[in-house]
């Protein structure tokens, strides 16, 4: 697969972070401060890989919203973090999302419902899109490739809880279920990816 990271940018930011870290620690005094108050049991919850399927397209546009003007349907958003097995954030991780439209169709000519983004310094990502439809043989899902700089990409899929077809889809894996809730009249999901960078 063609490499899509931007190593020059990542290296520069890494150097900035490495220089800045001692200053932050010094300003917090001698007591070590935990960066994240609540962390999952990352070590036992490696995000499992799944097939990319036949519809991945390289060189997707860099964007956090896949919603184009005039799109009809139900909006959906998902947020989360990319973490290591020791629950440390993976800053600048690349995440490439793609999914079918409400009618179960992938855009294989253009880049509708395709886009990649980079996590922030705390490993956070945020995707805004429309609720994918379903197509024969599959339950509702979102394809994703997650890649930490200088590591192999993880290709996997995200699933929606409460879907009747989950039980009949042989690719479905409950470990890849998002947590979803309705807020502001819109379905929203959360999911944390855990990568083995050892």
What are the residues binding Fe ion (CB under 5 A)? 53
Nearer to Fe ion, 147 or 157 (CB): 157
Asked if 127 and 64 count as a contact pair (C-beta separation under 8 A), the reply is: yes
Nearer to Fe ion, 113 or 125 (CB): 113
- Residue of minimal Cβ distance to Fe ion: 53
Nearer to Fe ion, 60 or 91 (CB): 60
Half-sphere exposure of 38 (CA within 13 A, CB side): 1
Nearer to Fe ion, 81 or 140 (CB): 140
Asked if 125 and 89 count as a contact pair (C-beta separation under 8 A), the reply is: no
Asked if 151 and 162 count as a contact pair (C-beta separation under 8 A), the reply is: no
Nearer to Fe ion, 53 or 73 (CB): 53
Asked if 193 and 142 count as a contact pair (C-beta separation under 8 A), the reply is: no
Residues sharing a CB contact under 8 Å with residue 97, sequence separation 6 or more, in sequence order: 66, 114, 115, 116, 127, 129, 142, 143, 144
Write down the least CB distance from residue 98 to Fe ion, Å. 8
Nearer to Fe ion, 86 or 108 (CB): 108
Query: CB burial class (10 A; 0-12, 13-18, 19+) of residue 51?
Result: exposed
Asked if 180 and 160 count as a contact pair (C-beta separation under 8 A), the reply is: yes
Write down the least CB distance from residue 70 to Fe ion, Å. 24
Write down the least CB distance from residue 55 to Fe ion, Å. 6
Write down the least CB distance from residue 143 to Fe ion, Å. 6
Write down the least CB distance from residue 14 to Fe ion, Å. 34
Rounded Cα distance between 127 and 66, Å, is 8
Write down the least CB distance from residue 112 to Fe ion, Å. 14
């Amino acid at each position: 697969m063609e490499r899509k990271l931007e190593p020059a940018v990542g290296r520069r930011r890494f150097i900035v972070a490495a220089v800045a870290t001692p200053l932050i620690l010094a300003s917090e005094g001698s007591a070590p401060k935990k960066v994240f108050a609540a962390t999952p049991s990352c070590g036992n919850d490696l995000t499992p890989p799944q097939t990319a399927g036949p519809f991945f397209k390289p060189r997707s546009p860099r964007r956090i919203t896949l919603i184009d003007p005039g799109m009809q349907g139900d909006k959906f958003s998902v947020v989360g973090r990319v973490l290591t097995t020791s629950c440390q954030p993976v800053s600048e991780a690349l995440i490439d999302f793609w999914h079918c439209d409400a009618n179960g169709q992938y855009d294989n000519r253009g880049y509708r419902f395709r886009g990649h983004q980079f996590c922030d310094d705390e490993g956070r990502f945020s995707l805004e899109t429309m609720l994918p439809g379903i197509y024969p043989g599959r339950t509702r899902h979102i394809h994703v490739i997650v890649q930490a700089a200088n590591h192999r990409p993880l290709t996997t899929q995200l699933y929606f809880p409460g879907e009747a077809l989950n039980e009949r889809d042989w690719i479905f894996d409950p470990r890849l279920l998002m947590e979803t809730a309705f807020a502001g009249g819109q379905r929203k999901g959360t999911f944390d990816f855990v990568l083995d960078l050892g």
